[in-house]
């Protein structure tokens, strides 16, 4: 389904895992100070079939224990991208965080998608919710 080159292949850590862990591919340690960002190479190059994307997501353990997340929330790798997959980490914690070669830094989820066809409209159909936005149903 997907071809990869270089780096260590991502893998599912448990039978029920939706995401595969991605590891850092570094020559030496990278320190991320509180409030700083770093673009971490993975050594992965992918050929993703059309109609699929790869979503890059944070690892919950890094977030909870060290305050490490992704600068863009969730990243998307499109099927026509052929460059190296890099992960943009941010340190929201209070201490310097060090990334070493081989550290699990993110997870990837392969997802199928459909392209939408947008149509300009003068009005929208009515619903019970209407224009009720954030928090309109209570807390």
Residue 126 lies in a domain: no
Tens of pLDDT, residues 56-115:
999 999 999 999 999 998 999 999 999 999 999 999 999 999 999 999 999 999 999 999
Residue 38 lies in a domain: yes
Residue 138 lies in a domain: no
What DSSP assignment string belongs to 41-70?
EEEEEEEPPTTEEEEEE--HHHHHHH-EEE
Phi, psi of 38 (to 5 degrees): -150, 140
Residue 58 lies in a domain: yes
pTM of the model: 0.84
Tell me the residue range of the domain where 106 lies.
Answer: 3-112
Residue 123 lies in a domain: no
Neighbours of 53 (CB within 10 A): 17
pLDDT band at 129 (very low <50, low <70, confident <90, very high): confident
Residue 75 lies in a domain: yes
Residue 105's pLDDT is 97
CATH number at residue 90: 2.70.40.10
Residue 119 lies in a domain: no
| Start-end of H helices in the chain | 60-66
Please give the tally of structural domains in the chain. Answer: 1
Residue 2's pLDDT is 57
Residue 29 lies in a domain: yes
Per-residue pLDDT for 37 more than 80? yes
């Amino acid at each position: 389904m997907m071809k990869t080159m270089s780096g260590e292949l991502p893998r599912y850590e448990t039978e029920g895992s939706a995401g595969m862990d991605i590891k850092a591919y570094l020559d030496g340690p990278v320190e991320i100070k509180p409030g700083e960002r770093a673009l971490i190479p993975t050594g992965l190059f992918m050929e993703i079939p059309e109609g699929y994307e790869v979503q890059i997501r944070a690892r919950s353990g890094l977030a909870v224990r060290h305050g490490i997340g992704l600068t863009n929330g969730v990243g998307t790798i499109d099927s026509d991208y052929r460059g190296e997959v890099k992960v943009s980490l941010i340190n929201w914690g209070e201490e310097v965080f060090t990334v070493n070669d081989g550290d699990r830094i993110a997870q990837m989820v392969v997802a199928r998608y459909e392209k939408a066809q947008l149509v300009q409209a003068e009005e929208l159909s009515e619903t019970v919710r209407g224009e009720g936005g954030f928090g309109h149903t209570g807390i």
